[in-house]
Every structure is written in C-alpha cells, then in structure tokens.
Chains A and B, each alone.
Chain A
Amino acid sequence: MSDTFLKRNPSVLIFLAVLALFVLGVTLLAEGAGAGVISTSFVKTLGKTLCLALIAVAMDLVWGYTGILSLGHFAFFGLGGYMIGMWLMYARTQAIVVSSLAEAPIPATESEIVDAIGNQIFGVVGSREFPLIWMFADSLVLQLVLVVAVPGILALVFGWLAFRSRVTGVYLSILTQAMTLGLALYLFQNDSGLRGNNGLSGLQNLPGLDHVPQATMSIWFFWASAAALALGYLFAAWIVSGKFGSVLRGIRDNEARVRFLGYSVEGYKLFIFTVTAIIAGIAGALYYPQAGIINPAEIAPVASIYLAVWVAIGGRGRLYGAVIGAVFVSLVSSWFTGGQAPDLDLGFYTLKWVDWWLIVLGLSFVLVTLFAPRGIGGLVDLWSERRQPDRHGADLGPGAGALREKEASK
C-alpha cells in the first residue's frame, strides 16, 4: 500500500529528501549543535518558517484542493499558540513564584501559590484571579490536547454552521474573515482572560529546562518543526492522493455536480476544514515558543490573507507549491523588511526597501494572479513537461465552467 502511494506520488519522496537534507545542513552549521555558522536567531527564523510552511500546506488542502478560500486559518494557528503559551507561562511563573516563596519562613500553601501566580500573570491587566479558561493551564498534557481540540472544535462548529447553510465562495471567505476579526477583537479585551493586547510572553523559556541554552533549544524546536512539517506533508499527500482527494478536487471544480453524484459535499468540506484547522493549531503551537510572544495582533485578518498570498505565489493545488511559497515569501519578506536589503538608488529617489517592500509584494501578487496562476510551483511543470489545457479565450456558454473558444477549436 505504502509502496503504491509513494510510487503514485514521487514528489513526496523528493520533498522529504530535500527536507531531510535541509535539516541536516542546518543542524551541522547551527550554533547549538554544529559549526556555529548559523546564529541561534536565524535557526529560530528557519524553524518558524517551517511552521509557516506547515500551515501553508493546510491552507493548500483547504483552498488549493477543496476550493474553500478560508481567511481564518491564522486564527486557528494563533489559538494553537495561545493554548501552548498558557502552559508555558503558567509553568514558568509557577517555578519563579515557588522559588521566591521558598524563602519565606512558613512554607506556602497550594492556594497561596496559585494566587501568587495569578497575581504575576494578570497583574498587567489589573486582575489577579484565574479565569475559567486557565483551568487546565497547570497540565502540559491537557494543554496539548487543547492545542488540537480548541481550533478543531471552533472549526467544526463554525464550518458546520457555514456549510450547512450553503455559504460558499467569496461569502464564505468574508464570513471566515469576520470570524477572525471577531476573535482578534475579543482577545484584545483585557477581560478576555488572555491578557488583552499584552498577549502571552516569555514563551521561549521551557519550564524546568533553564540549564539548556537557547542555542540548543532552538535546534530542538527546529527538528520538531521539521518533523511536524514532514508528517503534515505526508498526511496531506495521503489525503489528496486517493478517492477522497478526487472528491475534494471535484468539489473545487463543480460543487453542484459532486452533490448530484450523491456525495455529501458538506461532510467532506467540514472534514477538511476541521482537519486543516487542527494542523494549523499544531503549527501555531510549535511557532510561538520559537517566537517567544503571542498577542492578538498576530491573528488579525490580514495575516490569514497573507497566508493565501503565500499559497498562491507558491502555486496552489500542489503541496510542495504551498511550502515553496511560504518559505520563499516569508524569508524574502523578512530579508527586505529587516533592513538587510541594500537601498536602491534611482538617482532622483532612494528606494528604501523597508518602505517599499509591501508595495512590491502587493503588485507582484497581482501579477502572479494575472499572469502566472500556477505560481512558482508552475516552474516544475516546465521541467516535468506537464501540459495544462490551454483555457484562454472567450466563453462559449453562459457558465464559468463552459468550454472556451480555443479549446473548442482544437
């Protein structure tokens, strides 16, 4: 079975090989485990980029294969980050509080410790009580379950409501965007229980591992991110390779026909929406400990649109395209906006990339949409000599899917 699966999808093997080589190379060169050529902060950047590639794979599943342009997947990403962040913050604050209370003449009681932790964490939003949502924050296992459960359940409920009432196309996009905005605005409130716009911070320190230097920790997280990406990629490739994948593509190309053929379109969509939300949550849970801080601005609607931008630039409808897009655009973006790119002297005006990068990105995105809808991944087709039907020219029929002039004349 697995032989035939890999045989049918040679790109999976190639991708895994490239990923393995990349991980090996970075490990050998990194500060924490090898030659020290690559700085710790850059290892973190690479690890974060792998997490972004994972959520891009999820986005490709839901948009590129199923045709649901979700503008809410970064909300699931952020929720995953919040869930793991709660444990990280709680456990770390607990360690600090316990060590400071140990100096007191009388040992502290359980409730005194919890009160002190609450005071430490929520003092910044003028509160000291633990809200209900922090109920499981002291348990790593439960919070890890929540990393999967919270985005999953939110996606399940939202998707059920949306697909049930046959909200499709751009309406669904706008609705998911509204959901993201609503969630971000909710988290911005101080009494949301997640520290308002301060967010959760100090996530880069793993509790109980204070003796491990950040350089080593960054490599661990890099490995974990790479492993998650590999597993997520395999899983996604497995989903889209079989009959299930064919149905998904059918839904993308003509939802009504798939429904008339007797498939439960809503069920398929709901499944893929929920599964990708869970993948996004896991990606977020790996991303934010490397970023060190999470706040509601991270899940603003614009982040989810950028996610779509990566997938579109990389080439949707092919999993490696999503990875290429996410890695390429996010690394190039951080290079340009990080002030490392040299200014461009035009003689009459000096182009500062920090100011102009977004304009270039926006316009190049328009150009990709117009002239290269297959994205960067489309370059692979040139090499593998895969031909697409040449669908250009005016419609012959009223519907968008009708034959076009040039196809008909062939």
Chain B
Amino acid sequence: MRISLLAGLMVLLTSLAALAQQASAQTAVDDPAPMQSLLQEQSAVILKSSRKTIAPAIAAIAGSELPQAQAVLQAWQAKALWMRKSDGLFFRGEKLESKSYRLFDFDSGAVIGEFPKSDLKQIKPNSGIRAMIATALVQFQLSDPDPARRHEALLAIERAPAAALLAPLRASIETEPDAGIKARKTRIAQLLTIAHDADEARRVETINAMSGDLGLDVRATLNPLVATQLQAFGGAVPEALNIAREVMPGDDALSRDAAYGLLVGAKLAPPLISKDEIRTTLAGHIEGGKVGGVPIAQLNTDEARARAYAALVAAERAPAQITEAEVTQSLNDHIFAEVYQEPSQAITTAAEAALTSIDTQVAIGQTVDLTLDALSLASIYFLAAIGLAITFGVMGVINMAHGEFIMMGAYTGYVVQQVIPNHTVSILVAVPLAFAVTFAAGVAMERLVIRWLYNRPLETLLATFGISIALQQLAKNIFGTQARPLTAPGWLDGAWIINDVVSISYIRIAIFMLALIFLGVFLFIMRRTRLGLETRAVTQNRAMAGSMGINPERVNMLTFGLGSGIAGIAGVAIGLFAKVTSELGSDYIVQSFMTVVVGGVGNIWGTLAGATMIGFFQKGVEWLNPSNTLAAQTYMILFIIVFIQFRPRGIIALKGRAAGD
C-alpha cells in the first residue's frame, strides 16, 4: 500500500516535471498562447455548453496536438474551467475560500492571480458532455505513465468503441512498457480495426487473423458486420447492395404472411383486412337490424359475415378485401432478399467465414462445458446416493429418511458456521461433526425401528417415511421455513475459467473430488476392513455369518450408521451450493433411489454408473430444451422407467449367490 503510494507520488512528480519542461519549450513558438487562442476560437460553443453543438470544440482541443490539451480537457471535465468576464479568457480555477478563486494560465501554467467569484463564469458541462470529454481524454490516458489510468482508458474504449480512437490506440501500442496491457491494447486495436478501420483490406486481414478466437468480444464485434435486414424489391435487386441471400416467400425463413406483412410495411401492397376489422366495419354499418342486407342474428358465421361485407364493398362503403390471388400476385411481383447492413462484400464474406469457424470452436467448447456440467451433476447424485448404496444397496433396507439425514448434515454445517465464523475452519469441523450426528441418528434409528422390520421391507419403507416427515417438521420448527445459508470458504469461490465458453466453478470441482474420495473410502471399507468383510457376510447369509462368530446385530448397526454418516457429509457438501431448507433431503430422495436402482443394487460401481448416466442424461435433455429444467426431470424419470424394462436389475447386476435371491 505504502509502496504504491510512493510510486504514485514519483509518477506524479515526474509528469509534473515533464509538463513544466514542455511548457518552457512551448514558449519558444511564435504564438505565445496557442491554447488560449484555440479556446477563444471555440468560445461561443464552449459557453453555450450544449451536448448537440459541443463536439467540434472538444475535437479541436483534443486534436490540437498541443501538450496542454489534456490539462484543459481534464479541467473542463472536473468543472474547473473558468472564464474571466472582463476579457473572456479561459483559465483553470482553484478554489481558495468561499468566494474567491486562483486562476492558472493553461499555456504557461503560471498563476494569473486571485479573483472573486463574481468576476468569473464557471463552465459546467452536463453529464453527456463530460462523457464526450472522457472519450476525448482516452487518447491521452492511453500513454499515461500510470498503468491504472491506461487500464481505465482501455475499459472506456471497450465500453464505447469509436473510429476516432483507433489511431491513438495504435500509436500507443509501440511504446507500451507493460506486456499485459500491450497484449490487451493489441487485441482491442484489432477489434477496432475490424469494426471501424477505413482500409478494407486491413479489416479483412484482421478478421481472418482473429477467426477461431473464442472471446465473446470477437463475436460481439463480428456479429454486427453480418447483421442482415429483410427487404422487398419491386424489380431487380440494386447492384450496389450487399445481398446475403434471396428468399422465396413460403420458405422456412419467410412465411407467406410475414412476406406480405413486409410488403405492407414498405407500402408496396395494400394491407389485408383482418376478421376483427371486418367485424368492426360491419358493426359500424348496422341499418335497421341488417348489415348489407344480412340480418344481424345470422352474422355468427364467417360465411354470412363475408356476404354482408361483400355487399358493403359493392355499395362502396368499405374497402375491398384483398383476395388470395392478389396476395400471390404481389408476392410474385417482388423479390425478397436479406441485405447486409455492411456495404462491403469482402468484409461480410470474411466475417461469415470467421463466425463459422468460431461457431465450430464454440460448439466443441460447449460440448466440453456440458460434459463438465454433467460430471458435476453426476457427482452430486453420487454423493446423495452413496449412503443409500450402503443402507439400501448392501443391507436392503429402504430408508425413506435418508434425505432427512442429508438435511441434518447440511443443518449441522449451518449451526457450526454460527459458532465458528471462519469458513474454512468451520467446514473442516462440520464434516466430521455431521458424520457423527447422522451416524448417531442412523444407529438410533436402526436400534429402535429398523431391526424389528428386517423381514418386512414394505413396512420399513412406511416406518422410515413416518420418521422422515417427523424429522422434516422438526427441522421446520427449529430452523424455520426460510432457507439458511451455508457459505463456502473463500478459496472455493469463483470458477476455473478455461475460456469464454468453458468454465467450471471450484465448488463443483471440490464436490467431484469429494465424490471420488467417498468412492475410495467405500471401496476401502468394503474390501479391506473387517467391518466390510463382516457386512458382506451378514448380507449374504445372516445365519451362517452368525455361526462364524460374527455378531449380525452389531454389524447391521454399524453399517447402517456408516451409510447414514456418509449421507451427513454429503449434506454438508450439497448445502454449500443448494439452499439449506427442511425440504433439502426430499428433493434428492427419489433421484437417489433411482440412482441406486438404475445402477444395480449392491454394487458401488453400479451406483457410480447410475449417477453418471442420470447426470449426463439430464444435462443432455436440458441442453436440447434449455428453458425447461422441469421437463428434463420428467424425461429423465420416463427414461428410467423404460430403462428398468430392459435391465430390471440395473446396469451392473449382481450374479450368483451375491444376488441374494
């Protein structure tokens, strides 16, 4: 902070010194006060201070190539430009006390003296004029010694690109010391060249050079070049126009109605008379209960209305209707063409080619982006389902309260954040704590309810559903119905941006990593630990496992606790990006069961495959119909129902004794 302040001071001093030198050099030129004479020339316009007429004055000052120009413009913009009423000269004013100002000469920089406010007139530019001055100042700022100022200037150009800025921008590239800013300057200069350069060959060359670039700015620059307008022509299309293509009415691009509407809009054909207009006309000509000889009561069909209207037309009391043949005739008499706004054909051709190549690149990028999205959705489903893969998949217990364990984990994270304000630490604490809380809840539920129902799976489903609604309502009573925030630590904010098309937020990467870790932990526990061995033994044959010295009760309890605990951790992860509400769990429960069933019960790889398939399928449908995520879910469920027809035991079905039945 202090260093940058010092640096800023240094820069200021150097620039002041430079200014002083220039000022002393300037005195040698014949006109002792060139800026003052210039200001006097433009005096009337400056004093009028109107946005409509001010442009030449600003251009004259900015284009004067005088070193004082920047100071004048800055003073003007900052409302520090004053005119001395006695002789009409312009000065920079600095406020001394309430009513008096010290004036400085622009050319010499010398102090003129102190004057009371009544002797002076302040030039007050309005916001429109200040914006114009700001644009004019850009060329000075481009070579400003302060990098921050140069940055600002580039931003201003990007916001309002103008042809006038191209020359100063190009000139400033050579002398740019900072490599980063230099690259940006080059890129912006290229974009400005494409949009505004007078030299056509150079524009085409630049367009070709930038084709394939994925930046949004490139597309934003190229798109206006290929913008077309649909026009109708009575005879041949004028040679001078840059025609994109001719279209026939009735094509996909142009319906007959739209084409005729275009003719009407261009006053090339008389307007059609709509049914509404016919009705209004008929209503305006009711005479003695009849319109055109037709009784009103009969006018409730289109056919009778047409008859009545024809009678009115015959009596010349209404404009004639346009017949279908006349419409066809008008359409045949005209040529419809899409005309480029940009007159030069070379440029539109090059721009179209560049956009095509960019579109290909964007399509590839979007595919990659979609794949990343789908992977991240799949890992969310996997996280939500992995606890279920243990309790449902391995033990065969339907736990409808599984979603509520996820919710408990998320709320645990929220409560921990209330106690520990540091987000990183609180997440590190919340993960094991959520595991502990839901592990305890799972063990309690297994001991109290589920173990009595091991032979009655449907009743397990209903009993756990009872627990699920009780837990949900309990959460509502404790935390209220509004969503609670579970904030991710700062280092998880933001996204990994590969280019303007492909990006993925860090939090999704973290969830993906977490899913991988869970997979590893699950595999390790099931395959390498005593608990895993005993769980598999008890699942396959409870009596035999019992006779081998395994305590099935204890194994069931621990396994169920493990599954529930993992659900708790998943809850913390899901809470980081979803809103923590009491319905958090029920949003995921059906999808989680689907994931396990589709993947194949009793196999973790199956759950992984199921989550991947569902994630990719859902993202795929969303891509086909981006406005409607509800439809995506509907189609996904339909797809799953059909999928179950072909693989009733899931993607990876257990075989032989492991299948259990």
Contact = CB atoms under 8 A, between A and B. Distances in A.
A328 B449 CA distance: 25
B630 A362 contact: no
A130 interface: no
A105 B296 contact: yes
B516 interface: no
Interface string B268-293: 00000000000100110010000100
Contacts of B644: 162, 165, 167, 171, 175
A185 B597 contact: no
A111 interface: yes
Given A170-B458, A189-B630, A355-B476, A366 B641 contact: no
A400 B477 CA distance: 40
B641 A158 contact: yes
Contact of A369 (B457, B462, B590): B462
B452 interface: yes
Interface string B624-661: 00001011011001101110111010000000000000
A358 B471 CA distance: 9
Contact of A178 (B300, B453, B470, B594): B594
Nearest to A305: B465
A378 to B, nearest CB: 15
B473 A186 contact: no
Interface string B114-140: 000000000000000000000000000
B637 A110 contact: no
Given A111-B302, A185-B633, A188-B630, A301 B590 contact: yes
Given A105-B296, A178-B640, A167 B283 contact: no
A362 B468 CA distance: 7
A398 interface: yes
Interface string A68-112: 010000000000000000000000000000000000111111110
A173 interface: yes
Contacts of B459: 312, 369, 373
B547 interface: no
A108 B474 contact: no
B633 A106 contact: no
Given A171-B597, A189-B630, A105 B641 contact: no
Interface in B430-472: 449, 452-453, 455-459, 461-463, 465-472
A1 to B, nearest CB: 35
Given A161-B641, A355-B476, A366 B630 contact: no
Interface residues of A, number: 56
B314 to A, nearest CB: 19
Contacts of B465: 305, 308-309, 362, 365
B303 to A, nearest CB: 9
Contact of B473 (A109, A173, A355, A365): A355
Contacts of B469: 302, 358-359, 361-362
Interface string B464-506: 0111111111101100000000000000000000000000000
A369 B597 contact: no
A106 B291 CA distance: 10
B297 interface: yes
Contact of A363 (B299, B456, B466): B466
A364 B463 CA distance: 9
A304 B590 CA distance: 14
Given A365-B463, A369-B462, A179 B296 contact: no
Given A179-B637, A189-B631, A358-B470, A370 B452 contact: yes
B651 to A, nearest CB: 15
Contacts of A186: 630-631, 634
Contacts of B646: 165
A174 interface: yes
A359 B470 contact: yes
Interface residues of B, number: 58
A253 interface: no
Contact of B461 (A104, A170, A188): A170
B458 A173 contact: yes
B508 interface: no
B648 A178 contact: no
B593 interface: yes
Interface in A159-192: 161-162, 164-167, 169-171, 173-175, 177-179, 181-183, 185-186, 188-189, 191
Most buried by A among B297, B461, B462, B646: B462
Interface string A285-328: 00000000000000001100100110010000000000000000
A205 to B, nearest CB: 26
B301 interface: yes
Nearest to B628: A189
B388 to A, nearest CB: 11
Contacts of A312: 459, 462
A161 B648 CA distance: 11
B320 interface: no
Contacts of A407: none
A105 B286 contact: yes
B300 A108 contact: yes
B2 to A, nearest CB: 58
Contact of B543 (A69, A364, A398): A398
Given A105-B286, A161-B641, A182 B634 contact: yes
Nearest to A107: B300
Interface string B22-43: 0000000000000000000000
Contacts of A370: 449, 452-453, 463
Contacts of B301: 109-110
A333 to B, nearest CB: 12
Nearest to B473: A358
B376 interface: no
A362 B286 contact: no
A369 B641 contact: no
Contacts of A381: none
A260 B291 CA distance: 80
Interface in A106-121: 106-111
Contacts of B648: 165-167, 171
A395 interface: yes
B402 interface: no
B58 to A, nearest CB: 48
Contacts of B68: none
A407 to B, nearest CB: 14
B305 interface: yes
B366 to A, nearest CB: 24
B586 interface: yes
A169 B461 CA distance: 11
A183 to B, nearest CB: 8
B398 interface: yes
B590 to A, nearest CB: 5
B596 to A, nearest CB: 9
Contacts of B398: 170, 173
Contacts of A356: 473, 477
A173 B462 CA distance: 11
24 contacts: A105-B283, A106-B291, A110-B300, A170-B457, A174-B590, A175-B644, A178-B590, A178-B637, A178-B640, A185-B633, A185-B634, A185-B637, A358-B470, A363-B466, A364-B466, A366-B463, A366-B466, A369-B453, A369-B466, A370-B453, A373-B459, A398-B541, A400-B455, A400-B456
Given A181-B633, A308-B462, A364-B466, 9 more contacts: A106-B299, A170-B457, A170-B461, A182-B637, A185-B634, A362-B466, A365-B466, A369-B466, A400-B455
The 10 closest A-B pairs by CB, nearest first: A362-B470, A365-B466, A182-B637, A358-B473, A107-B300, A105-B283, A362-B469, A362-B466, A369-B463, A400-B455
Interface of A: 67, 69, 104-111, 158, 161-162, 164-167, 169-171, 173-175, 177-179, 181-183, 185-186, 188-189, 191, 301-302, 305, 308-309, 312, 355-356, 358-359, 361-366, 369-370, 373, 395, 398, 400
